[in-house]
């Protein structure tokens, strides 16, 4: 993809940073992935709108990502434009119990903002490494909490660039699911919390952080839970029961600390990770009759 393709975008958003041939391993928590033809790095909602409008109008293949904590890009790279929203990250208190956060704001930063404002209900998100946009898209959750419980509304663009604000049942929240599709672009979300005690909120966040450190392989590159929770049982338990803790393909490994995590143990490729996940699914199915569904989003 030649830089000249983006001349029209430069006129719409002259300050927008565009990198060509940027390795996606530098932008994902797995530290894996070849070069994107172009990486767009907007730093405001207006730049994000301009980028989305231009890419759609010109028919350029593209993918919108947040902090890259749940993604796996192929080793050969991505032959289109990747839009990384991490720079679109403003968040502020709105009224007594609302926080309005742009799509690229990290879940952790919003949790800290809530704590400082003595607003309870978002403690579960403090250790989730992703962005608000990604969290809304997949109804992210942890330790008994999820976005469905706190998201009041979301502002988004449809595939034709029309803006909408959806709330309640329109969001379609279910386990790791919302009504948003790959063609939609979440711009921001309003998060409704409740008044709380700042010290109690901080204590709960510290408690959950310690649980994560004790149970998860935070010292190794990964994309969090590799598989969704099945209808019966838990993915980690099923993988452990199948004798797959520590199972390795190339540089990819099932974590010995938490069987629900696939880690980059050193020099892993995307192909290593995909082959390992396929093998885990096959063995677990044979062992338990349960078919695991990947939670990691594999980009093609």
Average pLDDT value for residue range 138-161? 95
- If 0-12 CB within 10 Å is exposed, 13-18 middle and 19+ buried, where does residue 75 land? middle
**SS3 labels along 222-255:** EEEECECCCCCCCHHHHHHHCCCCCCEECCEEEC
Name the catalytic one among 149, 241, 279, 295.
295
pLDDT at 11: 84
Percent of the chain with pLDDT over 70: 100
pLDDT at 74: 98
Answer yes or no: 76 catalytic. Answer: no
**Over the stretch 247-278, which tens digit does the pLDDT of each residue have?**
999 999 999 999 999 999 999 999 999 999 99
pLDDT at 291: 97
Name the catalytic one among 176, 204, 229, 297.
176
**Over the stretch 5-49, which tens digit does the pLDDT of each residue have?**
888 888 889 999 999 999 999 999 999 999 999 999 999 999 999
With cut-offs at 50, 70 and 90, classify the pLDDT of residue 4.
confident
Answer yes or no: is pLDDT of 1 > 80.
Answer: no
Answer yes or no: 192 catalytic. Answer: no
Q: What is the residue-averaged pLDDT of the chain?
A: 96
- Domains of the chain, start order: 3-84 (3.30.43.10), 91-200 (3.30.465.10), 217-298 (3.90.78.10)
Distance CA 27, CA 104 (A): 13
pLDDT at 282: 98
- If 0-12 CB within 10 Å is exposed, 13-18 middle and 19+ buried, where does residue 248 land? middle
Average pLDDT value for residue range 234-240? 97
**Over the stretch 172-228, which tens digit does the pLDDT of each residue have?**
999 999 999 988 999 999 999 999 999 999 999 999 999 999 999 999 999 999 999
Answer yes or no: is pLDDT of 70 > 90.
Answer: yes
Answer yes or no: 176 catalytic. Answer: yes
Average pLDDT value for residue range 145-149? 97
Provide the H-helix boundaries in 88-175: 107-116, 132-138
Name the catalytic one among 166, 178, 222, 225.
225
Torsional sign, CA 111, 116, 117, 123: positive
pLDDT at 6: 84
- Helix, strand and coil content of the chain, in percent to the nearest 5, comes to 35, 30, 40
């Amino acid at each position: 993809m030649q830089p000249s393709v983006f001349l029209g975008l430069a006129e719409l958003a002259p300050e927008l940073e565009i990198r060509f041939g940027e390795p996606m391993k530098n932008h994902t928590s797995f530290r894996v992935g070849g070069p994107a033809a172009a990486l767009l790095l907007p730093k405001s909602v207006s730049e994000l709108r301009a980028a989305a409008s231009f890419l759609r109008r010109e028919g350029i293949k593209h993918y919108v990502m947040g902090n890259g904590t749940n993604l796996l890009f192929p080793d050969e790279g991505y032959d289109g434009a990747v839009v990384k929203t991490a720079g679109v990250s403003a968040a502020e208190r709105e009224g007594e119990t609302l926080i309005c956060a742009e799509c690229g704001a990290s879940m952790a930063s919003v949790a800290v903002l809530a704590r400082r404002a003595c607003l309870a209900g978002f403690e579960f998100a403090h250790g989730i490494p992703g962005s608000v946009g990604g969290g809304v898209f997949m109804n992210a959750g942890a330790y008994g909490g999820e976005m469905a419980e706190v998201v009041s509304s979301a502002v988004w663009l449809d595939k034709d660039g029309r803006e909408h604000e959806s709330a309640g049942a329109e969001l379609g929240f279910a386990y790791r699911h919302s009504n948003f599709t790959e063609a939609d672009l979440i711009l921001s979300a309003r998060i409704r919390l409740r008044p709380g005690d700042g010290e109690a909120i901080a204590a709960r966040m510290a408690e959950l952080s310690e649980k994560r450190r004790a149970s998860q392989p935070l010292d190794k590159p990964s994309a969090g839970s590799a598989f969704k929770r099945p209808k019966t049982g838990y993915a980690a338990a099923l993988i452990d029961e199948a004798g797959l803790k520590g199972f390795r393909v190339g540089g990819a490994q099932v974590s010995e600390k938490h069987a629900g995590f696939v880690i980059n143990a050193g020099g892993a490729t995307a192909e290593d990770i995909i082959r390992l996940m396929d093998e885990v699914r096959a063995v677990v199915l044979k062992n338990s009759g349960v078919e695991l569904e990947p939670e990691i989003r594999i980009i093609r």
